[in-house]
Amino acid sequence: MKILKRSVAAALLASVALSAGPVLAKDPPAPAAPKPPKLSKPYAKTLMEAQKLMQAGDNAGGLAKLNELDAVPPTADDDAYTTLSLKLNAAIGLKDNALTEQTLSKMLATGKVPAADQGKFYRTVGSLALNRKDYNAATMAFQELVKMNPGDGEAQVALSELYAAQKQNSKAVDTLNAAIAAQKAAGQAVPEAWYRRALAFAYDGKLPAQVQPTALALVTAYPNAVNWRDALVITRDSFQLDDQGSLDFMRLQAATNSLNGERDFVEYADTALGRGFPGEAQYAINEGIKKNMLNASKPLVAELKRSADSKVAADKAALPGLEKEIKTNGKLALATGDAYYGYGDFAKAATLYRQAVGNAAVDQATANLRLGMALARSGDKAGATTALQAVKGGPREVLAQYWMAYIGAGAPAAA
């Protein structure tokens, strides 16, 4: 899955490019000086000489002159800060990123950086630290930036990448979720990449408690086929499921058009066939062939198709008789409903699933889930929602939440 293949370096650089633009040593924030600085005489004289050299284009000479003040204790309020301001200009002129970062950090430590410039300074320090792969220093800078402005989603994205680079994936997920919330609160669209990165952080960090919520958030915000497949496969793999549970996940993949590749279609067909649903297996094979995901001449595919096709007629013919036998047999109602579901007769499946709901012999989470699935596919969104909300416990409750997201994303309306 591509969601999990992005390198940390690429992710970090992309996030900083989004939040900080080009390396800020090349386009720096100009130090603000709202009032004439209060300088001691030794500093005033040397600073003036340094400034003249720099104005003449001699940044190296100006820096050398400023360095002479290292041995002179500052006595006036603005001696140190003004010296650092000029050193910053010299460092920028010399394109010396190391000195730029060091000087900005010292300026911030003085507490004299104007409030309007502090964010730009911290962003620059963080970006430069990141360029030299000092993740710890970059993290501290971006933490300060986020602390100053919790609504700065781009800074939070950069900070989340830094946490992930240091294997602090839980913090990365939480920080990126905060960025998403901030973006929403500001009435701005949240980039799809943010949701995908949050899921990648949770998955890479083996954080099951965070995988499902981030996956669900992804398909709720961006319900495209790629995201549906990533979310469902990742969530499914986090559970120990039997064939019935796996089949229910694959049924939602079919509904969301997110079955992709030979493996998906073969597994769907083989599982359905193994559970005694040749109609559903036939559907999976035919869909795979139609979408050029399966090669009909391949021995495995040909055998699955032959097996399913040979059983469909007798299976269909037996269904009316099974309906008559149901009466109060909840398990038979559920199984017969599954068969009709596999043939795409979702309304008939829903009728049979209703007979299983409330039956003591049937697992109610399964019965309500299947009822919700059939109603969702037949276009009864309200009925489907009611049934799905009744699903409690384990992976089926999780899957019910995905089906509700499917309904919310625009499941087909009733004809």
Read off the pLDDT of each residue in 369-390 and give the average, rounded to a whole number.
Answer: 97
Q: What is the per-residue pLDDT for 5? A: 44
pLDDT above 70: percentage of residues in the chain: 90
What the block records as the tokens of 308 is 């399913």
pLDDT digits 0-9 by tens, 124-155: 999 999 999 999 999 999 999 999 998 888 89
Q: What is the per-residue pLDDT for 44? A: 93
What the block records as the tokens of 8 is 């940390």
Q: What's the pLDDT band for 231 if we cut at 50, 70, 90?
A: very high
**Does 378 score more than 50 pLDDT?**
yes
pLDDT digits 0-9 by tens, 152-204: 888 999 999 999 999 999 999 999 999 999 999 999 999 999 999 999 999 99
Q: What is the per-residue pLDDT for 6? A: 45
How far apart, in whole angstroms, are the C-alpha atoms of residue 174 and residue 356?
Answer: 41
How far apart, in whole angstroms, are the C-alpha atoms of residue 334 and residue 352?
Answer: 7
> Does residue 315 come out as left (phi exceeding 0), alpha (psi in the -120 to 50 range) or beta?
alpha
pLDDT digits 0-9 by tens, 233-260: 999 988 889 999 999 999 999 999 999 9
Q: What is the per-residue pLDDT for 4? A: 46
Q: Taking a C-beta distance cutoff of 8 angstroms, is the pair 280, 315 a contact? A: no
- To the nearest whole number, what is the mean pLDDT of the chain? 90
Q: What is the per-residue pLDDT for 151? A: 86
Select from 369, 353, 380 the least CA-distant residue to 248.
Answer: 369
Three-class DSSP category at 70: helix
Rounded (10°) CA dihedral 213, 215, 218, 220: -70
Read off the pLDDT of each residue in 260-286 and give the average, rounded to a whole number.
Answer: 97
**Does 95 score more than 90 pLDDT?**
yes
DSSP designation for 298: S
pLDDT digits 0-9 by tens, 22-80: 334 445 566 554 577 899 999 999 999 999 999 999 999 999 999 999 999 999 999 99
How far apart, in whole angstroms, are the C-alpha atoms of residue 322 and residue 325?
Answer: 5
Dihedral sign, Cα of residue 253, residue 254, residue 256, residue 262: positive
How far apart, in whole angstroms, are the C-alpha atoms of residue 71 and residue 58?
Answer: 22
What the block records as the tokens of 112 is 């004299």
Fold of 223-408: 1.25.40
